[in-house]
Amino acid sequence: VHEEEQVFVDFAIELVKKAGTLVRTAFDSAESKVETKLSNTDLVTETDQAVEKLLIQGLSDRFKGHRFIGEESVAGGAKIEWTDAPTWIIDPIDGTTNFVHRIPMIAICVGLAIGKKLRAGIVYNPITNELYLGQVGKGAFKNGFPIRASKNQLLSKAVLCQSLGLHNRVQFGDRWLDIAQGNMRNQVLAGVRGHRSFGSAAINMVMVAQGSCDGYVEYGIHAWDVAAPAVIVLEAGGVVTDPTGAPFDVMSRKVLCAGTPELGKDLSNCLTHVDFEPEA
Ligand code: IPD
C-alpha cells in the first residue's frame, strides 16, 4: 500500500510542477479575466479553472477510481463526496486575490486522503518556486530540505497568522467583524509580537510548518485550503486542531495550527468560536 501511495504522490508532484508553469505564465502576462463567486471578496480566474482541470484530468487518467474535491468544481456545482476512496483535495490557486493583485503569495494545493484520513500534502508557490511536501510518517520538506515548526510555547513570543475572513460576513453579518477583531484584540492583550496575514491559508500554514510563524487560526476556510498544508504542519512537528482545541476535522471549515500544543491551547483561549455547516 505504501509503495502505491508513493507512486500517487510522485505523480502528483510532477503534475503540480506543470500546473505551476501555467500559473507563473499567467502571473507574468496580461491581466486575466476575474469573476466573483459567492461574494465580492470571493474571486475566480480562468487560470484557477485551467489549473484545476489540468490536475484532475491528469490524476484521473492515471489513477482509475480516485475521487476529487476541487474548489472550482464545487463552485461549478459538483457535490462534495467524502468517501473512503483515495480522494484528491485540490485548490488550484490558494490566494486568488493575491494572484489577481500580483502579490507573489499563492499556492497550488493538492492533498491526498485515503479512508478519509489525510495522507499527503503538496503546497507549491510557483512564483517563489517553493515546493512543500508532507507525507504521514515521512516528514515535511521544502524543496527537499526538512522543515520544523517552532518550539515556542508562549504567546508573548509568538508571531501569529490570522485573516480577517471578510467572506464570513455572508453568514454572520457585521457581527463577524466584532468577533474577528475581538479575537485579534485578545491576542494583542496576551502580548503577541505581531500578526501576519499572507492572503493564502496554505501559505499561512507552511509559515507555521517552517517555524517562521508560531500559530495560525482561521474560520470559514474550506477543505481545499487546508487539507494539503495540514499534513505538512503535522509532519513538521506542529499541531493542527479545531480552534476550540477539539480534534481537527478537514470538513469543518475552521482550523488552528501551532508549533506546540501549549501555544495552540493559549491561542484557542483567546478566541470567540463560531461554527459552520460542515461541508461533508
Ligand atoms: C482563500 C485564501 C484566504 C483565506 C480564504 C480562502 P482562495 O482561498 O486562502 O487566505 O482567508 O478563506 O478562501 O479562494 O484564494 O483559494
Query: 61: domain CATH number?
Result: 3.30.540.10
**Ligand 1 within 6 A of CB of 235:** no
37 and 139 share a domain? yes
189, part of any domain:
yes
CA nearest ligand 1 atom 8, residue: 94
Mean pLDDT across the stretch 78-100? Answer: 97
134 and 41 share a domain? yes
8 and 128 share a domain? yes
* Per-residue pLDDT tens over the stretch 23-78: 999 998 866 788 888 888 888 889 999 999 999 999 999 999 999 999 999 999 99
280, part of any domain:
no
Length in residues, the chain? 280
**Ligand 1 within 6 A of CB of 200:** yes
CATH number at residue 208: 3.40.190.80
**Cα of 39 from ligand 1 centre, angstroms:** 13
**Cα of 163 from ligand 1 centre, angstroms:** 9
**Ligand 1 within 6 A of CB of 94:** yes
* Per-residue pLDDT tens over the stretch 210-248: 999 999 999 999 999 999 999 999 999 999 999 999 999
Residue pointed to by grid coordinates 517552517: 210
CA nearest ligand 1 atom 3, residue: 200
ipTM of the complex: 0.96
**Ligand 1 within 6 A of CB of 165:** yes
* Per-residue pLDDT tens over the stretch 168-203: 999 999 999 999 999 999 999 999 999 999 999 999
* Per-residue pLDDT tens over the stretch 99-127: 999 999 999 999 999 999 999 999 999 99
